[in-house]
Structure 1
Amino acid sequence: MGRTAISHEYQDIIKASAGRNPVEAIDVETQVMERVERLGLARTHPGAWKGKLRQPTALFSLLMVFLLLSVTAYAAAEYIQIRNSRGEVKVQYMEPEPVQQTGHLVNNKLRQQMEAKTLAFAKPGELIGYYVKEDAAKEAAEALKFVHKEQRLTAYADFSAEIRRTGAPMLPEAPEGYSFQNGTVEPDFPYNSPMMQQELYLGTLNELRTQAEQATGGQQLFMKSVPWTSPISVSASYAKDGGFLGISAHMMHGGDMRVWQGAEEQANKITVAGTDVIVNTMGIGSDKQHNYLTWYNEKYDAYFTVTSYGDKTLSEEKLLKLVAELLQ
């Protein structure tokens, strides 16, 4: 799948931790890596994942990882574009450039230790804001960090209730006769200074800083559960007769999407129920092809992905039929 970046009109690339920005130098920042890590997939050798594609969530999770990754620069060449009703480009396929790892990817042992302790403290589904005493001199957007403990919901009633709570796009229970296996809803949370100006986050930072100033002894980590209602993504996995289906939506929150299309990939745009849908074809192995469909939903300001994989896959025609149903 093409690698994707999301940009916001007010983003400062130096301080942003999601690597989302319309200017040329886009770092793969800490916040993006945190979200990738929460999916439970390590960054490995390019061929390391190929032997795991038969696992129920492996390929779908891999596609989600690609969805959340950013790269350091983008080329001027334009491929497919998807616009909203105002004529603004929301999704654009582009020629990729190599990922250049930066200092943001350097392992920080203290940071890893603090995150591990915070995740151990968190309950499934909780968003935890945490503050490390050594970060006292940092600005608000850098001093207050967040981790989310994934909650993989296996009952559709619980999953749909979480969708309603957060206002995420509703995903179906049994598309094309596939049975619901599990679903997740991930929170959006501050990654730059403008977003940190919200009272909830400033209050959390001030509270934790006060605790740190008053603490005696060698305590370094201070943390608090932070309520959340705004989602960044929703995804669900389904199964049927050895085949698997994945549906996801990534909320863009006013940003735009750039999808990196490699030389081995093909993307064709067709119209389904008045919506531009991209049929993406990528090679897996020496003689296999994999199709997945993506589109932009203006109502939710979200980028959707549908993929079929496993021992039994849906034809392109059936995938398009499923997309039409999701668009209703």
Structure 2
Amino acid sequence: MGREGIGHEYQDIRIEAACGEQLPRIEVTGQVMARVNGLERVPKRSPLRFANKTAATLSMLILLLMITVTAYAASEYIQIRNKAGKVKVQHFAPDLKPQGVAARYKYEWKLMDFAKPGEQIAYYFRGEPLSEGTGSLLQFAYKEQRITDYSAFLEQMKRKNSPVVLPGTAGEYAFKYGTMYPRYPTKAELNSSPFYRQTLSGLIDEAKQDQKRNLFMKAVPWTEAGGVQVKYTRQGAFIDLSATLLHGGEVQVYQEPGNKPEKLKAEGRDIVYNHVDRPDIKPGFSYHYLNWYNEAQDAYYRLTTYGDRILTKEQLLKLAGELIKGGL
């Protein structure tokens, strides 16, 4: 997949494509299409919208990931609740979609050229407004790292404290590569951490001394996963499985015309099946995918099939059931 914008964990994700190893064109715009409101109750903050206007590389997702879902009957908005009755996944009608989101990608290539694979970048852009989620001038980006050895990926999931451990196989599909994405700092962490305050102060000082540039950035460590994704393959066919870690938040999915979501069950778990017709890409072009929520992990999953042999709806649901039985 090509590089795509990703915000405080998956903000502004646009996944292009209809062939090869690329996924169907699924827009998961963290700022608009799907949000995860955090426990801090920062205005509209989320791990999908999450907190920061950032850019990053994303092979799916993502991963990732909160997805454009579509026109459902006007009064029938899909919800998934936890055992306590709290709404964790909420779909909204197309006319409720927020408008006027600014482009986030004008300097993404500079961030990606600066970063090494697997690196998180803290950056300050002169003249950029405060991040709506955190109220901070310090923002974050991440450069994707594809790990092609499953044992190394398993170790990475453990090292980054992921409550989700994606398996080495998905049905008859074998592991091709895995990626992880950081959980960006919250508003409280940005305000309380001397490290982040010093990082922002240092970048602003750098900007004062160099009036010829507007973008100032620095690699910063990360220790906690915000999302996990694996691509599986079998004779030219592909399965993409991702989990977005909500960290106490909830997913808000803004529907778009063209999709036909349907709430189903697999192994006792609520599943949202999405069938998408996209004649604007190619006459007769369509695709489908599944989403579900795992309360024990507080994770939101996406399962996609594409490539030379696309699984049927029944096969996709069966695979989801097997993955859920396996702990996802």
TM over 0.5: yes
Task: Identify if the C-alpha distance between structure 1 residues 69 and 212 changes in structure 2 by more than 3 Å, giving closer, same or farther.
Answer: farther
Task: Identify if the C-alpha distance between structure 1 residues 284 and 176 changes in structure 2 by more than 3 Å, giving closer, same or farther.
Answer: farther
How far residue 301 of structure 1 moved from its aligned partner, in angstroms, is 1.1
The amino acid across from 2:170 in the alignment is P
How big is each residue's C-alpha offset from its partner over 1:118-149, in whole Å with a ceiling of 9 and x where there is no partner? 433322111122345x4699798432222212
Matches of 2:158 and 2:39 in 1, distance apart? 28
CA contact (8 A) 2:226 2:244 kept: yes
Task: Identify if the C-alpha distance between structure 1 residues 137 and 236 changes in structure 2 by more than 3 Å, giving closer, same or farther.
Answer: closer
Question: How many residue pairs were aligned?
Answer: 287
Q: Does 1:129 align with 2:122?
A: yes
CA contact (8 A) 1:77 1:94 kept: no
Matches of 1:324 and 1:138 in 2, distance apart? 43
Matches of 2:57 and 2:190 in 1, distance apart? 22
Equivalent residue, structure 2, for 1:311: 308
Matches of 2:151 and 2:81 in 1, distance apart? 34
Task: Identify if the C-alpha distance between structure 1 residues 81 and 225 changes in structure 2 by more than 3 Å, giving closer, same or farther.
Answer: same
TM-score of the pair, normalised by structure 2: 0.72
Task: Map 1:75-86; keep pairs closer than 5 Å.
Answer: 77-86=75-84
Equivalent residue, structure 2, for 1:274: 268
Q: 2:100 aligned to 93, 96, 102, which one?
A: 102
Task: Map 1:1-328; keep pairs closer than 5 Å.
Answer: 3-13=33-43, 20=49, 31=53, 34-35=54-55, 38-39=57-58, 60=60, 64=63, 67=66, 77-97=75-95, 102=100, 104-105=102-103, 112=107, 116-131=109-124, 134=126, 141-168=135-162, 169-190=164-185, 193-199=187-193, 200-209=195-204, 222-285=216-279, 286-287=283-284, 289-327=286-324, 328=326
Matches of 1:311 and 1:137 in 2, distance apart? 45
How far residue 306 of structure 1 moved from its aligned partner, in angstroms, is 0.7
Bigger radius of gyration among the two: 1
Task: Identify if the C-alpha distance between structure 1 residues 106 and 156 changes in structure 2 by more than 3 Å, giving closer, same or farther.
Answer: closer
Matches of 1:185 and 1:167 in 2, distance apart? 11
Task: Identify if the C-alpha distance between structure 1 residues 77 and 256 changes in structure 2 by more than 3 Å, giving closer, same or farther.
Answer: farther
Listed as ranges, the gaps of 5+ residues in structure 2 are 1-25
Identity %: 34
The amino acid across from 2:165 in the alignment is M
Other structure's SS at 1:152 match: coil
How far residue 177 of structure 1 moved from its aligned partner, in angstroms, is 1.8
CA contact (8 A) 2:276 2:287 kept: yes
Other structure's SS at 1:104 match: coil
Note the aligned Cα RMSD (angstroms).
3.8
Other structure's SS at 1:143 match: coil
Give the structure with the larger helix fraction.
1
Matches of 2:103 and 2:49 in 1, distance apart? 16
The amino acid across from 1:4 in the alignment is A
How big is each residue's C-alpha offset from its partner over 1:126-181, in whole Å with a ceiling of 9 and x where there is no partner? 1122345x469979843222221211222222222221112221111121121222
CA contact (8 A) 1:268 1:280 kept: yes
Matches of 2:113 and 2:129 in 1, distance apart? 26
